[in-house]
Amino acid sequence: MKVTFVAQGAPAAAMPRLVVRVVEQGKLPHGLETAVADAARASRFSGKLGQVFESFSGGGSDLRRNVLVGIGEPTAEGRLAAFEQAGAAVTARYLASGETGAAYDLGGSTITAAEAAALVLGTVLRGWRYDVYRTRLAEERKATLAEVTVVGAPAGAEAAWASEAAVVAGVSFARELVTEPANIIYPESFVERCRRLEALGVEITVLDKAAMTALGMGSLLGVSQGSVREPRILAMRWKGADAEKPTAFVGKGVTFDTGGISIKPAAGMEDMKWDMGGAAAVAGAMLALATRKAKADVVGICGLVENMPDGAAQRPGDVVTSMSGQTIEVINTDAEGRLVLCDAITWTQKEFAPATIVDLATLTGAMIISLGHEHGGVFSNDDALADALLAAGKTSGDKLWRFPLGAAYDKLIDSPIADMKNIGPRYGGSITAAQFIQRFVDKGVAWAHCDIAGMVWADKPGATWDKGATGFGVRLLDRYVRDVLEG
């Protein structure tokens, strides 16, 4: 969606006929035409968050659609989120309306540059659609809204939007990767999609099956051995600043997960194309950071495999040796994400020696049972890191909730014949998964694990997304970099 900023008083002929004004709850804008104000009141429009009112004026070539959108009664803490949701509400209403453009009239308002940028951010994010494979989409369902014009924005708004536009690019890329079917996005093609980052200055390193075999990545390779799609590890390095040690983001990239020999039920298995949502978030975040030239040293790692059942697939009861040398008894082949992450994290530490690691993974169904689709879970060995991620989640809207770690949980994955099992008992499933990953984190490395199983895909529209891929995790990581690494 194209975004243009113009000064107040621009020629009316150059403006879209759809004109939007932002309204705080109970405060209709000064200068509003009496007829419009009366109609709004008669329609019980009060400016509640996301509430939209429309009226018409003029006729013929002078026809105008006059829209009011509410931001509610936002607190100082929640003002940006309110503007973001208001912009998204406008898009949800008019994306397929036949209108090709919309104008926000901010002239004479007290809206700040950051609030104006948030308004546009919500508008553009909610407009993301992926209709590549639709050949019979009804005309009235086709997206038409393609341009947003901001009139009379405060000083600095356009610069603020430029930074947010980079985040939109990252979220859109993550959504694209998650949305594509597994016959289109698999380990090799995922890597090729990410090659676009090289043009932005991102250094890309790829490990193929032979390289991983030589490194002793028996845990990751065990997951992939039932598939004809070869695994890959993708490393994306953005060095926007000199740092003693980089920060690493590691994503689980199971491009399709049947469960392997411990096969999943058929109903709903098509959803498992999004089991690479953690890797997609990492790739999207790296695109955002490189696009806005973030002043930070960050490496993004994606462990990419496909988990399939065939005659070569690993079996429940098999023992594999990870790159770290630790052995794992594979009790359930559907607990595969942790088997991918452990080798990816070990390699990340040996190759890049990061001070901090944050991993993102659609790891456990237990997380959805715990938190539904409202928060991702976060586990950490470092309180400062956990607090920073929680704060970043609150600011960005990619919300997290912290869970415990502890020795009592750790004992639940001890194996009688190997160093550990890949799964514990039914209860505490998300915690034992995190305990498993923690065993591969080197001493002195600050680490956090984000279980985002309930967040990367939505069965119903949300504030800034339609049904489908949400792009969760991109804004979280970008905000963490802004707050912690860039200061």
Out of 193, 239, 264, 394, the active site residue is 264
Residues 6+ apart with CB under 8 A from 244: 355
Separation CA 423–CA 432 (nearest Å): 7
Query: Which secondary-structure segment (H or E) carries 339?
Result: helix 337-352
Separation CA 50–CA 124 (nearest Å): 15
Query: Which secondary-structure segment (H or E) carries 384?
Result: helix 383-396
Out of 237, 338, 399, 421, the active site residue is 338
Nearest to 179 by CA among 111, 270, 250, 273: 273
- 136 an active-site residue? no
Look-up of token digits 């609150």: 394
The sign of the CA dihedral 397, 275, 177, 188 is positive
Separation CA 127–CA 172 (nearest Å): 10
* DSSP at 31: T
State the CB neighbour count (10 A cutoff) for residue 37: 16
State the CB neighbour count (10 A cutoff) for residue 160: 20
State the CB neighbour count (10 A cutoff) for residue 425: 9
Nearest to 233 by CA among 258, 255, 211: 211
Structure tokens belonging to residue 308: 């399939």
Q: What secondary structure does DSSP assign to 295-323, as a single string?
A: SSEEEEEEEEEEE--STTS--TT-EEE-T
- 292 an active-site residue? no
Q: Give the active site residues.
A: 264, 338
